[in-house]
Every structure is written in structure tokens, then in C-alpha cells.
Structure 1
Amino acid sequence: MIPIPSQRAEPAMTPDMTLRGPEFDASAIRNGAVSIITMVISTIRRRRWVILGAIGGSILLGILLTILMTPRFTASATLEIQRETGSFVNVQGVQQKDSAVDQEFYNTQYGLLQSQTLAERVAADLGLSESPDFFRTVSIKSNQWFDSAGRPLPAMRRARVKAAGSALLKSFAVSPLRLSRLVTISFTYPDPAMAKRVIDTWSSDFVKLTLERRFEMTSYARQFLEGRIKQLRQRIDQGQRDLVDYASREGIINVPVTSNSGGNNGSVSVTERSLVAGNLTMLNDELNKAIAQRVEAESRLNAPGGSVQEALQNGAISTLRQRRTELSAEYARLMVQFEPNYPPAMAVRRQIEQLDAAITREENRVGSSLEQEYKAAARREQDLKAQVAQLKTDFLDQRRRGVEYNVIQRDLDTNQQLYDGLLQRYKEIGIAGGVGANNIVVVDPASVPQSPSSPNLLLNLLAATLLGVILGGGLAFVLEQIDQGLSDPGEVNAYFGIPLLGAIPKVETNALEALSDRKSSLSEAYLSLQTNLAFSTSHGVPRSLAVTSSRPAEGKSTTANALARSLARSVGRVLLIDADMRSPSVHHQLGIENRRGLSNYLSGDDDVTSMIYNTVYPGMDVITAGPHPPSAPDLLTGSRLDNLINQLLEIYQCVVFDIPPVMGLADAPLISSRVEGIIFVIEAHSTQKAMARVALQRLAAAHATIKGAVLTKFNSKRAHYGYGYDYGYGYGYGQEDKAPDA
């Protein structure tokens, strides 16, 4: 059994559309693209007259509008906008580089060129706001702005100027030239001379407006800086007074200090320093020197052999020692020759003793001198320490009292710096405001246009053609959506997931007459249907078949009849059973009576032989539907239908049932579950896809084996893709026997 999709119409997955990992096979994408292209080409081919009609109508309309349009002339001028250089508000490190703000600057200039203020100024300068003719030309009602004689009303001047400016802006355009400072401005108007005047006035007014805006900016800046300078001057004066009063009250005395702060450039800076801090610095330096002297004296005093070293370095002691050495040498020479009691030797010895005493006295004096020097250095150190400690106390006390002094001093310095900076800027603004440099230059002035810029016939025709293509495509799409029938054989498998057994062409003559001609396209189509059906099972054509459709008059009875004829010629004896007991038609097609038939057997009559009718077609017999039963579903729910099929298959090679449509009736699902295969008939260009899908779902729910679909009444000229949904009930009961549904 072939499954029937239950969702909305979507192409069924083919073997080439299997998934490979997370991506679709490239062939699936290619097939989808080909299907879409085929659908578009098919739609264009079928709806070509609609599309061509829309294009033709649009072109005619474009030509007509071009003829009726008023010629308009465009005047243009080229301006050069230089980047503004220099500013009285430049602050280093704050303002952006020119390269970073160029685009912003030029976009601003383009916006100013299209500003409402500039447009109103141009309108006022040219007197357009006072001209009723201008408002009539631009299609603006101006009766409320002028009196009956056409004179402007003074009270409405502002409204007129605003409306005139807006009208000018609608026809004004700005076109910057890429990668340059040039910009082209243009204005379009029915009068070429007026178009030139507008552009000339626009250019000059833009230059004037730029200068005026710059002057207004400097004027405002001057006023602002004057106020700020006045405030800062008052703050500086008050800060100086507060600083002097506080220093006098707290006894803070600062002295100026000059220092070279400029390195090689020789600049000199003057700062203030408190007197206590200066004294403390000076005494601290002296204390450091006293400590060094005391340490040096102490080291000389306490050093091992310190007195001897000092004595050795003493000149008097050195002289005495030298004299003693000489006398000792002389005494030793005398002792070599004389005795110690020798008078000259004794005299020499007494001199030596005197020199030793003198040396001892001198050494004692040197040691006493070192000790006195050390004590003096220690006393001086202590005195300086006491003074430094006192100055430290005074300095810390002054620091505590000088906090407020420093706050006042910092505020005063800050205000002084701000004052100096603003004063410098104020002088620069005065110079810049007097220069009045202009950065707007008219490179190419406007000239009177000689030929109209609009209407452009070629451009209008291209636009009309494009509009026609769009309208034609839209109409074709709408018609495709309205056309809900199945109009292309390739859609059968894509929409329903069942194979297409054959496409039966539509014939202008009676279908039964066309079937009589073995060489007709209709006969060939049904022969192709039989051939495809033979491949649906392993044993060839299913022995029991049922032909149905979703609704009446789709060609199911004709298909059952034609298939039975074709099978009779190829496989042997075939029996055609008209199982549509609600609205039978087989007996009309074959011209036989309908006194006894299927309803009689299902009601309990076992004489099947009396119900079989021979036909003029060799090997083909028929069982008609028989009389109308009260309830066809009740007859079909029993086991007699199964018994009938088994009994007939012993006689015939194939049994073909013409059963009722599926939608709204229970007959088709009841019969379809008893036969080996179902052939589902779909009328091309008419049967709605949704209805056919629902019908197939009902058959699938009844466990029917659907062998495929047959597309009947197919017109190849209308082959396309479409979708639709609609069906109804009420088929069968109370109706008279109808003619063949071919």
C-alpha cells in the first residue's frame, strides 16, 4: 500500500533528496531549482497574453502620460565646500582629527543646503511667496493667502513663505561628487529662466547664511567669554583679598623664591616659601654640619693612639723630637769614648731630659685640646637640635594653619589660569570675527537649460514596461492561485506520493466514440495506462481493480470502461462491474438494460449468471449496478461482495469495478478494501488538490492498495503548477440515471 501524505501540498521526497549529514544532497537543490524554473516558465507560457496585455497597457499609459506631462527644465550649479580650518574653541587632545569628522562635516553641509530655512530665504528673496502664479505652477491652493485682486495678505506672509520654501525643496536636489569637495545642486521647474534664478539665489544665499552663522557663533562666543572673564576677575580679586587677610590673621609669612625651571631656555619661575620653612631648612643644614663635626672630633678623641697621632702631626713636638734624636745620637757617641760622669756627656743628658719633659707637656696639651674641641662640637650640636625642634613645632603649627591658606591659594591660581586662557581666546575671537573667511565657492554657476529634463520618453517607457511586467506577473500569480486544479502530470507524485499511471488527453468528440478508434490518442493513452499498471505487481495487472475519483464527472466510468476493453484484448476475459449503485452509468455507455445487477446479488440473489451481460467487445462482460438499493453501504458491509469477487475470479482473468466517488460517501472505502488495487482518477485542471488528497487519505484509512493515479481530460497547453481546495456532498440519492461522465 502506498502511503498518502496528510499535510499541506509539498513536493514528496525522491531518492535524490535523501539527507547527507546536516545538508541536503546537491542534486536535491538542483532538482528544486529546476522545478521552480519550470514552474515559472510554464506560468509565463500559459499566461503570456495576460502578461503581454499588462505590459502593452502600461506602455500605452506611459506614452499618454508623457504626452500630457508639462515639460520641466533643470538648472544646476557646482559648489566647492572647503573643510573649515581653525577654531577659537580648539583644545589640544579633545578635538577630533579632520580625517575622522570630514564625512560628518560634509553631510552636515548637504543637510544645510536642503534646510527649510534656506529654502524659505530663497523664496523670499525671489518674491515667490508673493506670486499667485508660482503657487498655481507648483499646484498649491493659495486662495486663502491672497485677496480677490491677487494681492498678498500681510497676515498670511509667514504661511506663504513656508509653503513656497517647501515647494522649492520638492524640486531641489543635492548630488555630492564622490571622493571630492564638489557638490552639484539642481532645481527643476517649468520655466528655464526661473530655474536658473533659483539656483543662483540658492548658491549666494547659502554662502551668506554660512558667513552669518559663523559671525553669530563668534558673537555668541564673545558674549559668553565676556561674562566668564568678568566673573573670573571678580573671583581673583576676592581670592587675593581673602589670601592676604588670612595670612595676616594667622601670621603666615611667605617670601618669594626664584628658580630656573626652563633648563636650557633660561626661563625663571618665582614661587613663594614660608619664612619658618626657610629657617628650618637653614638650621637643619647647620645641624647636619655640627653633627659631622662632633662625630669627627669624637672619632679623633676616641681613636686608639689618638693623642700620639695628633702629637706626631704637631710641628712643635716634631721639632722637639728631632732635637732629642740628635742629642741622643751625640750622647751615644760620647759614651763610646767617655764615662757617664764625663761633664759634656752629663750636659747632653740633662738636655735630653729637658726635651723629654717638654715633649710630655706638649703631648698633654694636645690631648686636652682634642677633648675641648669634642665638647664644643657636642654643645653646638645640642643647641642646633633644640632650635630645629622648636622650628619643627612652629612649622607643623604653621602647616596646620596653612591648609586653608593653600586652599585659597589654589583657587586663586586656578581662577588666574582660567582667566588668562579665556582672555587669550577672547582676543582670538575678536580677530577671527573680523576676518570673515568663506569656505564656499561657486565653481560652475548655473546656466539657462536649453532642453527639458522631463518628461523623458525613453525612461518613462522603461518604467512603464517594468510596471507592466510587475502587474502582469502579479495578475498571472493571482490567476494561478485562483486556478486550483491539478494541471501538470508531474504534480501527481509530488503532491500525493503516488505514481502516475497515465495522462488521458482531452478530446473534443465523445470519449466512447474516440475509444472505438484503436489509433486515437485516447486509445493510446489507455493502452499506456494498462502497460504501466502491469508493472504495479509481480504478476502483472492486478486481478481485481476498482476505479474511483474524489468527485463525480472526473472520467472514472470512462476509464473503467476503456481499461476493461484494453485488458480484454490483451489478458483474456474481463468483467466490468458497475458498483456505483447510487448513480450508475455503465449501462448507458454500453447501451444495455439495468434490470438486474450488483444490488440484486448483494441483496441475496445468488444467480450471478443472470446478471452478467455480454458486450460487443470480445472478451468483455458487464454486471450493471442494478436497482437503487435503500442503503448501499449496508449491502457492502457484508461478506457477499468478497464471495462475489472470489467467484468471478475463477471465471475471469480480471474484474474491474466502477465504484462511486470517495468524497462524502462510504461506498468507495468499503469496496476498495476488498480489491487487489485501486486506480484513482483525477480530472486535470479541475479537481482540487486538497479534495484529492483527502480522498486518498480516506482510501488509505480503509487499507486500500492504491496502485496509482490517472490524470484525465488533460490539456497540455494548460500544464502548470497550482493549488486549490473545495468539495461538496449530495451525490447520488434522488438523482435520475445520468449520461456517461466522460
Structure 2
Amino acid sequence: MNILSSKIGSGMPEAGSDSRNSAESVSPLRDYLRIALRWRWVILGAIVSAVLLSLIITLLMTPKFTATSTIEISRDGDQVTNFQGVQRDVSVADQEFYQTQYGLLRSRSLSERVATELRLVDDPSFFGMFDHDDNGNAFRLTNGRYSAAGRAYRRRMAGEILLRNLSVDPTRLSRLVDIHFTSPSAPFSAKVANAWADNFIKVNLERKVQATSYGRDVLQQQLADYKQKLDDSQRQLVAYASKEQIINLPGTPGENGAAGQERSIVSDDLAALNAALSKATADRIEAEARYRLAGGSGASTEALNNFAINNLRQRRAELAAQYQQMMVQFEPTYPAAVALKSQIDQLDKSISREEARVSQSLESDYQQAKKRERVLQSKVDSLKGSYLDLRRRSIQYNIFQQEVDTNRALYDGLLQRFKEIGVAGGVGVNNISIVDTAQVPDKPSSPRLLLNIAVSLVLGSVLGAALAFGLEQLDETITDPSEVERRLGLPLLGSIPRVEHETPKEALQDRKSDLVEAYLAVQTSLAFTTEHGVPRAIAVTSTRPAEGKSTTALALATTLARGGRKVLLIDGDMRSPSVHQLGGVGHERGLSNFLAGEEDISSLTFEMSDLGIFAMTAGPIPPNAAELLTGSRLSNLLTRLRDTYDHVVIDSPPVMGLADAPLIATRVEGIIYVVESRGIRVNQVKTAISRLEAGNAHIFGGVLTKFDARKVAYGYGYDYGYSYGRSDERAEEA
């Protein structure tokens, strides 16, 4: 109890308040609900106003009709031939192509083309249909018609009007595009939507034809340039070949019919002579081998294979055989033998002559082969020098030849491309087609009453919430008891309900009234503010008048007196006294008399028997009440009163603008600070509390008066105890 009383008595918030504040900060939903319930009429008014405004606007709006045509945009146009177009191909994942098409659908040139085709440029009813207000010369009517001078300006305005009422809606994950047009006329909307799709296809075809024509013109110019370059390079090549006497033979055609690489005559001659030289060398080696092998013995292969020599040798062999047989019988001098021997010798001579002739033939062949080899070698050496000189002279020739080949390749490629463009330009198929034509709508697309009301409900709710939060931020008054602790830093002693249809004194006389129950709760809270229970000397003050401080002082004195205690209520407001009115007496004698020097206290008090308390009026109003309070007379009065009364309650003047309340606060044990619910700004209350704290006043806590629980946050239940069991008791009494 000591700990609790010290915390309350020191003017610090209770320990539980921190947990409540942290819980509220963690869960702002309750604050939002409180704000919504507090400003519910503002929110409801904003919603109702928005709905009514939406309803009025919807009823006053001109019905509009929306017609829709659907087209399909393919990435690549179908082609009869396999030729590639001039424009760059678009890959599957390339969305740039479709975004470009969507932009072309919304282009100004297309809108002006549609306006021209439908003859809207010179149609006054068209501009009147869309309420186009332009007082320029272009829209000046002469005999019901526009002048021709402003046709270009009207075309631009008509295109802008069409664009403002057109919307392009691509279907997701498809190549379909919906073209919507909205106007006050259903047939006109359908006509524009269909004309838009048709003209988009025509523009697309014209753009392709223009691109192909432009490409053909550019290629034709390039063909002429490269033809001239090819001719110049060929003339340069021929002139250099004539000057340097470079003669090349055409190459052998390849398998595909293409001409082979050119070759020079010198290289062909060198190759032929080199082949002949190789053969001559081989023949010389062979002849030399036969010659060396034959030697002078006639035993060469040619001699052995010679028919004449072989016949002579056969004849000699036969004669030699006969001679040998004859030598068996006769002497060598035998005439027949001598004759036979002579024939044999003659055959030997013939054989030797034949063999010598064969040997001479081999030598002759060898010498001829050797001479032929030398001649061919000399010619090959001469051609090698000519070939090297030709190679040197052919370097620049090859450079000119490469230039000719390059120019010819470029020219042939451009010529082929030019032919392809000429063919492809006439066989391409448009890549845009109409899927569904626009039909005349049978019902308007706007205004849509239910949708507008739904939107207005949402906007009204948002506007109402914004107004509620704005008013909440601008409202600096205390609205519920939790704000006493959270915003003022004062312990909450209790909340006092608003009294209606009766005076506070009448409500206090009814012991079962909500007012009595509330002040009993305040008295209970006061019991924990000091170690000895309810303070014996208490002052009740507020920031400004009419906040309920006099009622609070009277109620506290009454509830304390009903607890069997002797209580004195002192009217300390000597500037605007009120206690004498509650007691039904005058204020000719009272507090100001004692402060002025009178000592008889009993003559200054009177009894309020209906409430069971004693009271002291403010007395005659002094010229300056603050001067009377600066002395020690008030302290002496309270000291003497403690001997007679258990509790003294002082109805103090308000704090703002006066010095009375701080002076009284320093003479009592503590202050009960009264705050009017929804009646005083927080900054003013904080300023008043700062004045009291500057004078070392002890504030026990705050009391929230004129509190209406029905206007506060949902779920707090501040009025629960005021009516608990009341209906049951009344039922029993009945």
C-alpha cells in the first residue's frame, strides 16, 4: 500500500499504465476503432455525400456506348517464297515487336487517317457529339459548313478526340488485341472501331510496300555504284597485265561448274619441261646403265637378245661340232677341215662385228640421252628465272585481281538481293488480320450505376477515414480516461459521467446515481494517495471555469461525509464563488473574512444538512484575492480546522490567468485536477499543470468530468460499473 500510495501521490503514472500504453502501441487496431466510433457521423456523412454525389453525377451523365473489334497480330507475315524480308526478324521472346504494334495502334497518324476516311473533319455533328469547344477560325461555320482553310487543324483535333475515346487492350498470353471505342452513339462507336482495324491493316501493308520500295531503290543505286567499281577494277587489271605481259589461262571448271583459278603459261611450260626433264634423266640413267653393263665384251643383254648374233652363233656351233668330229679322223691340214675352219673363223668375225655394232648402238643411245637431259635442264633453269620474275610482277596483279573478285562478289550479292526484293514485294501476305468486327452495342457501357455507387462507397469511406484521422489530429481535447495518463502524465483518479435532466446536487442526493458511484470510485483512489488514507486537506482545481471542479469538490465532501466523517467544504474561489448557491445562503461572511483578520471560524461556516456536510462560503469578494492568499492566514485556518474536521475540501479557482490556485495548492496536502472531457485543449492543461508543478504543488491525480462513455472507444467499458445490477434491483423493487 505504501508503494502504491507513493506512486499515486507523487503524480507519476501507475506501473500498469506503461503496460497498457505498450499494448496499445503494439495493437493500433483499437485506436483505429476508437477513432472510427468517435467520428462515425463524420465518416457516415462522407460516405452518404459521396454516394449521393455519385448518384447525381451518374444520372446527369450522357450514356456512352463502347464497341470492340478484335485483331490478330502475328510476328512474321506469311510468304509464298522463301525470301527474307527487308525488315529485321523478331524473335519469339521479343516483346518489343508487340509493344511497337500497340504504339502504332495509338498513333496520331492513324487517328487522323480514320477521321479523314469517315469524313469527320468537316462534320460539325461529330465535334458537337464530344462537346468540343473551340472558337477558332477553323471551327467557324459558314452556311452550316466549315471553311477549307482550317481543315488541317480540324483533322488534328478530330484525331485527338478519337484517341481520347479509344483504348487498346492486348489479350494476355495471346496475339489478339481488342480495339475499344466509346462515344454517345452506338452505331458511330462500331463504325470507328471497324474503321480503325481496317486502316491499321492498310497502314501496315503500305508501310511494308514503302519499306520494300525504299530498299529496292537503295539497292539499285548501290548496284550502279558497285557495277562502276567492278568495271574500273577490271580495266585496271587488264591494263596492268598488258603492261607487264602477264598471260594467264582460265582455270579448269570444278565439280559445281564454277571456274577454277587462273594459271600462267610460264607455270604450265615449267611444269611440262620439268616433267620432260625428269623423264630424260630417267632415260639417261637407263641408257648409261646398259652401256656400262655391256662394256666391250659384247655380253650385253641387247647382244644376247640380238636375233642375227644368235643365228650366227648357232651356225658356228654347228660348224664347230662338225670340225670336232672331223678332227677325230683327220688332221687339221685336211682340206675339208681347213675349209670348215675357215667358215668358223668367218662366223667369229661376223659375230664380233655384230657385237661391236650393238655396243656402239648402246653408247650412241647413252650419249643422246645425256645430251637431251642437258638440253632440258638448260631450258628448265631458264624457265625458273622467268617464273620467279613473273611471280614478282604478279604481286600487284594479284592485288588488282582480289579487288576485282571482291567487287564482283558484292555486285552479284546485291544483284541477287535486288531480284529477291522485287519478287518478295509482290507475294508477301499481311501479318495482321481481323478476328471479330465491332457490333453495334445494345446497351451503354457508361455510366454504370452499381459500379459508380460501389466506387463512391469506397471513396467515401476513404474520405471519411481521412477526415476522421485529420479531425482526430486536430482535436486536442481529452476524449477518454486513458488519455489523462497517456497525454497529461497524471494518474487517473476516476471518470465522472455527464449528468443530464437534473442538477449535480440532485444527482448526489440519489445514492444510487451514476454520479455518486463515480465519485465513490474517486474517493477510493484517493485512499491510496497517502499513508493515512484520504488526504485531510484537499484542493480541487481545473484549467478554466465550468469544467466541473465545484461539482467535484461538493461530491467528494458529500461522499466523505457519508462515510461517517466530518467534512468542511470551503469555497476558495473568491473571484466567482458558487458554494453559497448550493447551500442557499449568501456569501457576506466566509473565507475572505478570516483571511482579512477575523478569528471566529464558527460564525463563518454553515451546515448543508441535505448532504451532511459543513461549508464555508468565499465571503465578500476582495479587491485582490491573491494578496489575501499570500500570507499565512490560510495555513493557520487549515491547522485549526484539522482539530474540528476530519477532511477539508477547498473549491479552488481555475489555474489559467490567476495566481490563486498555486497559492492554495502550496497550503494543502495535494491537488485534485479536474479535466473536462471534450472541453479543454491538452496544451492548455499541460501549461496549467506546469504552473502548479513550478510552485511545488502536489497533484494527486486527475478526474475526467462530463464523460460520455457512448462516444468513446469501443470495448473500454468505462460505464460498466455505473449501471451494474441497476436493472435487477429495479425489477425487485417493482
Check whether TM > 0.5: yes
Report 1:205-604 matches (<5 A): 205-238=199-232, 418-470=410-462, 472-473=464-465, 484-508=476-500, 509-570=502-563, 572-603=565-596
Aligned with residue 50 of structure 1, among 17, 41, 45: 45
SS at match of 2:608: coil
Contact preservation (8 Å) 1:83, 1:439:
yes
CA contact (8 A) 2:592 2:620 kept: yes
* Equivalent position to 1:672, from 661, 665, 675: 665
Q: Does 1:186 align with 2:180?
A: yes
CA root-mean-square deviation: 4.5
Partner residue of 2:18 out of 14, 21, 25: 14
- Aligned residue type for 1:40: A
The match for 2:655 is 662
Deviation at 1:691, TM superposition (A): 1.6
- Gaps of at least 5 residues in structure 2 are 1-9, 272-292, 296-381, 715-734
User: What are structure 1's unaligned runs of at least 5 residues?
Assistant: 5-11, 19-26, 283-313, 317-386, 722-742
| CA distance in structure 2 between the partners assigned to 1:255 and 1:544 by the alignment | 137
**Code of the aligned partner of 2:33:** I
| CA–CA separation in structure 2 for the residues paired with 1:426 and 1:98 | 25
Cα distance in structure 1, aligned partners of 2:192 and 2:165: 11
Distance across 2 between alignment mates of 1:234 and 1:89: 27
Other-structure match for 2:11: 2
8 Å Cα contact 1:58/1:465 also seen in 2: no
Counterpart contact for 1:211–1:436, Cα < 8 Å: no
Matching residue's letter, 2:572 = A
The structure number with the bigger radius of gyration is 2
CA contact (8 A) 2:70 2:436 kept: yes
- The DSSP-based 3-state class of the residue aligned with 2:201 is helix
TM norm structure 1: 0.68
SS of residue paired to 1:118: helix
Q: Which residue of 2 aligns with 1:710?
A: 703
Q: The residue matched to 1:14 in structure 2 has which SS?
A: helix
In 1, Cα distance between equivalents of 2:607 and 2:91: 101
The alpha carbon displacement at 1:439 in A equals 0.9
Paired with 1:412 and 1:667, the residues of 2 have a C-alpha distance of: 118
Match of 1:79 among 71, 76, 82: 71
Q: Secondary structure at the match of 1:567?
A: helix
Query: Aligned with 2:146: secondary structure?
Result: coil
Q: Are residue 108 (structure 1) and residue 100 (structure 2) matched?
A: yes
Of the candidates 669, 683, 687, which is equivalent to residue 676 of structure 2? 683
- 1:31 and 2:27 correspond: yes
**Gap change, CA 1:548 and 1:248, over 3 Å in 2:** farther
Instruction: Establish whether residue 202 from structure 1 lines up as the match of residue 211 from structure 2.
Output: no
* Residue type of the alignment partner of 1:557: S
Structure 1 residues 210, 564: CA separation in 2 closer, same or farther (over 3 Å shift)? same
* TM-score, reference length from structure 2: 0.69
What is the letter of the counterpart of residue 448 of structure 2? N
C-alpha deviations, 1:426-473, integer Å up to 9, x for none? 333222222242011111222233333333333333344445445555
Cα distance change, pair 60–123 in 1 and its aligned pair in 2 (3 A): closer
Displacement after TM superposition at 1:273 (Å):
11
Which is further off, 179-188 or 217-226?
217-226
Rate the CA distance shift 1:698–1:49 in 2: closer, same or farther, 3 A. same
- Cα distance, 1:678–1:266 mapped onto 2, change above 3 Å: farther
How far did 1:647 drift?
Answer: 3.9
1:637-660 residue CA offsets vs partner (Å, 9 max, x unmatched): 455544444443344322222222
Cα distance, 1:630–1:718 mapped onto 2, change above 3 Å: same
Question: CA 1:564 to 1:633, structure 2 compared with 1: closer, same or farther past 3 Å?
Answer: same
Give CA-to-partner distance per residue, 1:532-560, whole Å, 9 cap, x none.
Answer: 22233343222222211111111111111
* CA distance in structure 2 between the partners assigned to 1:597 and 1:407 by the alignment: 133
Structure 2 residue identity aligned to 1:500? L
Q: 1:74 to 1:59 in 2, by over 3 A?
A: closer
Shift of 1:155: 0.8
- Partner of 2:110 in structure 1? 118
Count matched residues: 592
Q: Does 1:147 align with 2:107?
A: no
Q: Matches of 1:562 and 1:3 in 2, distance apart?
A: 25
Partner of 1:174: 168
Structure 1 Cα separation of the partners of residues 52 and 183 of structure 2 = 29
Following the alignment from structure 1 to structure 2, what is the Cα–Cα distance between the partners of residues 571 and 551?
33
Q: Which residue of 1 aligns with 2:318?
A: none
Aligned to 1:338: none
Structure 1 pair 717–237 and aligned structure 2 pair: CA distance change class (3 A): same
Change (3 A) 1:652 1:266: farther
Change in 2 beyond 3 A, CA 1:444/1:52:
closer
